Structure 1
């Protein structure tokens, strides 16, 4: 059965069906998925029936999968390091009470792009729902290609050669974590152009969100005001839709042409078990054993958002 596509917005997002994601896809079927992603930026797949192993194997069709940071003494809840735990659960599967984990996850409710804080960016993120709250907890997506298209020409010209400075810890500070500026400045920051050509579609896209703390060469206050302005532009209603999750749903989004954020829900009352794979930009399917950039970054986390440090300490 060929892939069926039902658009959500005129230029962004689509519901997809017709492929069994639990089995090995043919090259032509993989191309159907990537073609849909290039066109729509976000694809929603209902009731996939996928296991953790299915999730990882399907994701390998699109490139090298990043791995959860390694640290001695860590107890992992999920069976594969390729699965990032985007839940509110501790390693025992209960709702976490760890202040560092709670504070860290607050950053997920800001508009962001996964791994923009790394030198090697994430292309696709593939998020699968295992348990969802009865209300809230949706995910919102914004179209950064159409948002770029609709900018005035003078703004496009101004942004053409601008570079954003990106930090994970900056987004956590924006979400309320008590991280001094000097701590952020002392840690790794990634440089990425604010405008790039999206390879799959040939369309230009903004690449900017909560991890973007400064614009290279601009006064800090002016640069940060422009970052806020551009995020507000990208997240106007005509560019945005939300997905309300059901168990078994998978959403794939292309971080190089979209932003996303998590919706609010009763974090301390309901379990929300979400598991994500992330594909490194520019890598070939089934690539193995590239450098582990996340372990290096998270080995130097500020204490207030050091999830792994808390687990090692047994808190």
Structure 2
């Protein structure tokens, strides 16, 4: 099943790939045709840790004051896969080769996304791959993105899912950001983590 991506810490994964999603991000925000939903199926779950944290970006947008909404509604963020960073600012993804960078050029997405089905508005992918804002000086863009990220990561907007074997977690990537909990290489069966991930694009057929 080539479209399924294994997520976890089983043998064969290095430290970098084990925690490749341990930063706040939105799946495929660095691509022009973004994911609209992500699903994770839990096959092996560690006794401690391994949660997925999800931020409600619609609620975070709704709570902005009107002047901030009017400001961000007009802005376009620039995303690049190689710009992803971790919780404390360190680089998570390895630097891309020139050939890789040529296959993943920067893309632009509205900072406020309109949901393709419901028409609702949400802050979109303000952390992770977003590294600039079109027409804005870099220092101002970085400051605004950091401010919006801090706003979205308030406790009232967050949910942490603790998996059980057999769980299928599904979230709407148009209205959320998410982050894996950092884990270590397994030392025994009780510390193994294996989930299978697939992301989808476009509207559900029933909505077309």
**TM-score bracket, shorter-length normalisation:** 0.7 to 0.9
Match of 2:19 in 1: 106
Say how many residue pairs are matched. Answer: 198
Q: Following superposition of structure 1 onto structure 2, how do residues 164-313 of structure 1 map, counting pairs within 5 Å?
A: 164-171=77-84, 174-177=90-93, 179=95, 187-208=104-125, 209-269=127-187, 270-282=191-203, 284=205
TM-score (norm 2): 0.85
Structure 1 residues 87, 106: closer, same or farther in 2, change over 3 A? closer
Q: Which residue of 2 aligns with 1:145?
A: 58
Counterpart contact for 1:137–1:262, Cα < 8 Å: yes
Secondary structure of the equivalent of 1:85? Answer: strand
- Structure number having the greater helix percentage: 1
Q: Which runs of 5+ in 1 are unaligned?
A: 1-79, 90-94, 286-315
Q: Is the 8 A contact 1:114 1:255 kept in 2?
A: yes
Q: Could you report, residue by residue, the CA deviation over 1:249-286 in whole angstroms, capped at 9, with x for unpaired residues? A: 1110010000110112333433211101111124647x
Query: Which one scores higher on RCO, CA 8 angstroms, separation ≥ 6?
Result: 2
Give the distance between the partners of 1:170 and 1:147, measured in 2 at CA: 23
Q: Deviations over 1:231-252 (max 9, x none)?
A: 1111101111101111101110
Query: Which has more radius of gyration?
Result: 1
1:110 touches 1:175 (CA, 8 Å); kept in 2? no
Deviation at 1:169, TM superposition (A): 1.5
Aligned to 2:43: 130
Deviating beyond 4 angstroms after TM superposition, the runs of 4 or more aligned structure 1 residues are 182-187
Normalising by structure 1, we get a TM-score of 0.58
Aligned residues: CA RMSD:
2.4
2:19–2:183 CA contact under 8 A, matched in 1:
no
What is the alpha-carbon distance in structure 2 between the residues aligned to residue 210 and residue 158 of structure 1?
Answer: 21
